[in-house]
Structure 1
Amino acid sequence: MSAVLSLQGLTVALPRGADRPHALREVDLELHAGEILCVVGESGSGKSMTAGAIMRLLPPGVAIEAGRILFDGRDLASASEAEMRAIRGAGIAMVFQEPMTALNPLRPIGDQIGEMFRIHTQLSKAAIEAKVLELLEEVRIPDPRQALRAYPHELSGGQRQRAMIAMALALKPRVLICDEPTTALDVTTQAQILSLIRDLQQRLGTAVLFITHDFGVVAEIADRVAVMQHGLVVEQGAARDVLERPRHDYTKALIAAVPPLTAPPARAIAEEAILRIEHVSKTYRSGGFLGRKRRVTRAVRDVSLLLPKGGTLGIVGESGSGKSTLARCIMRLVKPEAGAIRLGNTDFATLSKSELRASAKRMQMVFQDPYGSLNPRRRAGELVAQGPMIHGMPREQAMARARELFALVGLDPAGVERYPHEFSGGQRQRIGIARALALEPEVLVADEPVSALDVSVQAQVLRLLAELRTRLGLSIILITHDLRVAMQVCDLVAVMKDGEVVEHGPVARVFAAPEHPYTRALLSSVPGRASAPGQGFATS
Structure 2
Amino acid sequence: MTQPLLAVEDLSVRLPPGADRAHALAGVSLSLAPREILCVVGESGSGKSMLASTVMRLLPPGVAPDGGRLAFRGRDLLALPEAGMRRIRGAEIGMIFQEPMTALNPLRRAGDQIAEMFRIHTRLDARAIRARTLALLAEVRMPDPEAALRAYPHELSGGQRQRVMIAMALALEPALLIADEPTTALDVTTQGRILALIRDIQHRRGMGVLFITHDFGVVAEIADRVAVMRAGRLVEAGPADQVLNRPQDPYTRALIAAVPPLAPRAARAPGGPPILALAGVAKTYRGGGLLPGRARVTHAVRDVSLTLARGTTLGIVGESGSGKSTLARCIVRLLDPDAGTIRLGDTDLAALSRRAMRGQVRRVQMVFQDPFASLNPRRRAGDLVAQGPRLHGMARGAALDRARELFALVGLDPAAMDRFPHEFSGGQRQRIGLARALALEPEVLIADEPVSALDVSVQAQVLALLDSLRDRLGLSMLFITHDLRVAGQICDRIAVMKDGVVVEAGPTAAVFADPQAAYTRALLEAVPGRAWIPGRPQAAAAAG
Q: TM-score when scaled to structure 1?
A: 0.98
Q: 1:53 & 1:355 partners in 2: Cα distance?
A: 56
Amino acid corresponding to residue 470 of structure 2 in structure 1: R
Corresponding letter in the other structure for 1:114: A
Q: Are the counterparts in 1 of residues 91 and 172 from structure 2 also a CA contact under 8 Å?
A: yes
User: Which position in structure 2 is the counterpart of 1:5?
Assistant: 6
For 1:300 and 1:528, the matched residues in 2 are separated by 31
In the aligned structure 2, how far is the partner of 1:417 from the partner of 1:80? Answer: 47
1:476 aligns with 2:464: no
For residue 229 of structure 1, report the CA deviation from its aligned partner: 0.6
Q: 2:223 maps to what in 1?
A: 222
> 1:38 and 2:39 equivalent?
yes
Conserved 8 A contact 1:494-1:504: yes
Q: Paired residue for 1:296?
A: 297
SS state at 1:371 partner = helix
Letter in 1 for 2:192: A
Cα separation, 2, equivalents of 1:533 and 1:83: 44
**In 2 relative to 1, CA 292–69 (structure 1 residues): closer, same or farther, beyond 3 Å?**
farther
| AA at the equivalent of 1:350 | A
Tell me how far apart the structure 1 counterparts of residues 438 and 350 of structure 2 sit (CA, whole Å).
22
Equivalent position amino acid for 1:274 in 2: I
Counterpart residue type for residue 515 of structure 1 = Q
Which residue in the other structure is 1:195 paired with?
196
Q: Distance in 2 between matches of 1:321 and 1:439?
A: 30
* CA deviations over 1:169-224 (Å, ceiling 9, x no partner): 00001110000010111110000000000000000001100000000000000000
Equivalent position of 1:461 in the other structure: 462
Partner of 2:22: 21
Tell me what 2:271 maps to: 270
The code of the aligned residue for 1:404 comes to: E
1:137-158 Cα deviation digits (max 9, x unpaired): 0000011000000011111100
Classify 1:291/1:167 alpha carbon distance in 2 versus 1 (closer, same or farther; 3 Å). Answer: farther
Q: CA deviation at 1:535?
A: 4.9
Note if 1:281 corresponds to 2:282. yes
Mapped partners of 1:304, 1:337: distance in 2: 14
Q: Which amino acid aligns with 1:330?
A: I
Report what 2:499 is aligned to: 498
Q: 2:180 is matched with which residue?
A: 179
CA distance in 2, matches of 1:427, 1:535: 31
Distance (Å, rounded) in 1 between the aligned partners of 2:8 and 2:219: 21
What SS does structure 2 have at the residue aligned with 1:372? helix
1:19 Cα deviation (Å)?
Answer: 1.0
CA distance, structure 1, for counterparts of residue 417 and residue 27 of structure 2: 38
Which residue of structure 2 lines up, in the alignment, with residue 150 of structure 1? Answer: 151
Deviations 1:104-159 (A, max 9, x none): 11111001111111111111111111111000000000110000000111111001
Match of residue 380 from structure 1: 381
Does the aligned pair in 2 maintain the 1:256–1:535 contact within 8 Å?
Answer: no
- Over 3 Å counting, the alpha-carbon distance change for 1:292 and 1:13 in structure 2 is farther
Q: 1:214-363 alignment to 2 at 5 Å?
A: 214-290=215-291, 293-363=294-364
CA distance 1:38–1:292, change in 2 (3 Å): farther
Tell whether the 8 Å contact from 2:430 to 2:450 is kept in structure 1 after alignment.
Answer: yes
Shift in Å, 1:346? 1.4
Q: Equivalents in 2 of 1:532, 1:177: separation in Å?
A: 27
Task: Give the Cα–Cα distance (whole angstroms) in 2 for the partners of residues 320 and 147 of structure 1.
Answer: 19
Matches within 5 A, 1:362-511: 362-511=363-512
Matches of 1:483 and 1:30 in 2, distance apart?
34
CA distance 1:60–1:532, shift in 2 (3 Å): closer
Q: How far, CA to CA, are the matches of 2:535 and 2:287 in structure 1?
A: 47
- Aligned-partner Cα distance in 2 for 1:3–1:533: 30
- Aligned partner of 2:459: which letter? Q
Distance across 1 between alignment mates of 2:19 and 2:193: 38
Deviations 1:460-518 (A, max 9, x none): 00000000000000110000000000001001100011110011011111111111111
Moved more, 354-363 or 179-188: 354-363
Amino acid at match of 1:513: D
- In structure 1, give the amino acid aligned to 2:205: L
2:256–2:535 contact (8 Å) kept in structure 1: no
Residue 73 of structure 1 is matched in structure 2 by 74
Give the whole-Å Cα distance in 2 for the aligned partners of 1:405 and 1:79.
54
Measured against aligned partners, the alpha-carbon deviations of 1:332-363 in whole angstroms (never above 9, x if no partner) come to 11111000111012111121111112211111
Indicate the residue corresponding to 2:56 in structure 1. Answer: 55
- 4+ residue runs over 4 A deviation: 531-537
CA distance in 2, matches of 1:14, 1:272: 57
Summarize the Cα distance change of 1:83–1:290 in structure 2 as closer, same or farther, 3 Å threshold: farther
How do 1:89-100 and structure 2 match up within 5 A?
Answer: 89-100=90-101
- Mapped contact 1:262–1:533 kept (Cα < 8 A): no
TM-score by length of 2: 0.97
Structure 1 residue aligned with 2:121? 120
Contact 2:275 2:308 in 1 (8 A): yes
- Seen in structure 2, the aligned counterparts of structure 1 residues 104 and 216 have a Cα distance that, compared at 3 Å, is same
* Separation in 2, partners of 1:388, 1:318: 35
Task: Find the aligned partners of 2:36 and 2:429 in 1 and give their Cα distance.
Answer: 37
Amino acid aligned to 2:346 = N
Instruction: Give the partner amino acid of 2:463.
Output: L
Deviation at 1:530, TM superposition (A): 3.5
- Indicate conservation of the 8 Å contact 2:244/2:534, yes or no: no
Equivalent pair of 2:245/2:534 in contact (CA under 8 Å): no
Q: Secondary structure at the match of 2:322?
A: coil
**Would you say the 8 A contact 1:174–1:206 is kept in 2?**
yes
Deviations for 1:353-381, whole angstroms, at most 9, x for unmatched residues?
A: 11112211111110001111111111111
Distance 1:38 1:249 in 2: 19
The root-mean-square deviation of aligned C-alpha atoms, in Å, is 1.3
Partner of 1:136: 137
Whether 1:516 aligns to 2:509 is no
State whether residues 260 and 535 of structure 1, in contact with CA within 8 Å, keep that contact through their aligned partners in structure 2: no
Mean Cα deviation higher: 412-421 or 76-85: 76-85
